[in-house]
Amino acid sequence: MYILEAHPTDVWQTESNIKEKIVFASPKDYQEREFVAGSCVRKLGIKFPAVLDGFDNSVEKAYTGWPDRIYLIDKQGRIAYKSKPGPFGFKPEELKAALEHVAK
Amino acid sequence: MEAAELVATVLTVMWLLTLAIAMVYRCPSGILRRKTMAISSIVRKVLFRALVGLVMVYLLFAGFILWAMHQPPETFGRVMSRMPDAAYLILPFETMWTHARAGQLQNGDPAPDFSLLKLDKSDKVQLSALSSRQPVVLVFGSYT
């Protein structure tokens, strides 16, 4: 779920952005976000499907997903796991445990 | 991590208080005692007021950061871009962030449905249609 940028140059660029050459301004429209998302998926080699949040950020608002967060939705359409807010709370190992629980 | 953070903040405040109390109640010895009694009384008052001022500034600063954490990401980002790194050390930052960004959704709640276009534009993804077939992982994030 590709959402609004965490550290765009015009808002809150950090030193690691410059060091890792991930330097982008806030996308002005959906097409610009699409471009940055495309770079992200290609450069990081992301294999799972990426969807773009609408430019109104409605899904990010509903899930408080910014800057990064993990959710697991079960087969009844209910939230089985909601991580603490990132970056501190972004823990794939917790997702792994939740997936094992849901698989039972 | 959160517990360690709270302990560090409490220890900082306790250290400041201990320092202030030690300075206020330190008695000069010898023949200068009477002459310095009047001065030490003034110094005590000044130090006490400075300490109260320091605590108030700290609480106001913490309140301001907490307010910023509840604002939309762009507002929060602009506030944080002007913060010194020390802000992360003197405040229980992670605890504050976890509470500010808790959101409405709880485990067991129905996941808000959405229908969004895939990045490669091959298809639209409807969450409810997907999750009825298999569990779905949502990873929110961005490149920067």
pLDDT at B86: 79
**Which residues in chain B have their CB less than 8 angstroms from residue A63's CB?**
103, 105, 112, 138, 140
* Position B112 pLDDT exceeds 70: yes
**Mean of the pLDDT values across residues A12-17?**
91
Instruction: Give the residue among B69, B70, B102 at the shortest CA–CA distance from B88.
Output: B69
Containing domain of residue B25, as a range? 2-107
pLDDT tens, A55-95? 999 999 999 999 999 999 999 999 999 999 989 999 999 99
pLDDT recorded at residue B38: 63
Does the pLDDT value for residue B26 go beyond 90? no
Q: Which residue, among A64, A100, A102, A104, would best test binding to B if mutated, counting the most B CBs under 10 Å from its CB?
A: A64
Partner-chain contact A80 B138, CB within 8 Å:
no
Inter-chain touch B105–A63, beta carbons under 8 Å: yes
Q: Coil, helix or strand for B141?
A: strand
The better pLDDT of the pair B21, A22 is held by A22
Give Cα A23 distance to the centre of its chain.
17
B53-68 residues labelled b (16+ CB within 10 A) or e (exposed): eeeeebeeebeebeeb
Q: Tell me the Ramachandran region of residue A45: left when phi exceeds 0, alpha when psi lies from -120 to 50, beta otherwise.
A: left
Is the pLDDT reported for residue A26 higher than 80? yes
Number of domains in chain A: 2
Q: Quick one: closest CA in B to A65, which residue?
A: B140
- What does the alpha-carbon distance between residue B92 and residue B62 come to, in Å, rounded to a whole number? 9
CB-CB: which of A34, A60, A81 is closest to B140? Answer: A60
- pLDDT value at residue A32: 94
Arithmetic mean of pLDDT, B106-111: 96
Query: How high is the mean pLDDT of chain B?
Result: 85
pLDDT at B122 over 50: yes
As for how many domains chain B has, the answer is 1
Residue B97: pLDDT over 70: yes
Mark yes or no for CB contact B135/A77 under 8 Å. no
Identify whether B141 is part of a domain.
no
Asked if residue B99 has pLDDT above 80, the reply is yes
Whether residues A79 and B138 touch (CB distance < 8 A) is answered with: no
User: Does pLDDT of A13 surpass 80?
Assistant: yes
Spell out the residues 6+ positions from residue A4 whose beta carbon is closer than 8 angstroms to its own: A26, A27, A33, A53, A57, A60, A66, B73, B74, B142
Residues A40 and A8 reside in one and the same domain:
yes
pLDDT at position B7 is 74
In a domain, B54, yes or no: yes
Residue B91, both tokens: 């405040």
Q: What is the mean pLDDT of residues B20-38?
A: 58
Whether B138 is covered by a domain: the verdict is: no
Tell me what pLDDT residue B1 has: 46
- Chain B hits for A86, CB-CB cut-off 8 Å, are 140-141
Does one domain contain both A46 and A79?
no
Per-residue pLDDT, A80: 96
The verdict on A61 and A80 lying in the same domain is: no
Which of A66, A93, A100, A101 to probe the B interface (max B CBs under 10 A)? A66
Average pLDDT of the segment spanning B83-111: 91
- The percent of residues above 70 in pLDDT, for chain B, comes to 83
Tell me whether residues B103 and A50 touch, CB distance under 8 A: no
Least confident of A4-8, B30-34, B95-99: B30-34
In chain A, whose CA is at the least distance from the CA of B95? A88
SS3 call for B132: coil
Q: How far is A104 from chain B (nearest CA, A)?
A: 12
Across residues B127-136, what is the average pLDDT?
Answer: 94
| Domain extent for A6 | 1-65
Are both A43 and A12 inside the same structural domain? Answer: yes
Q: Measured between alpha carbons, how far is B65 from B80 in angstroms, rounded to an integer?
A: 8
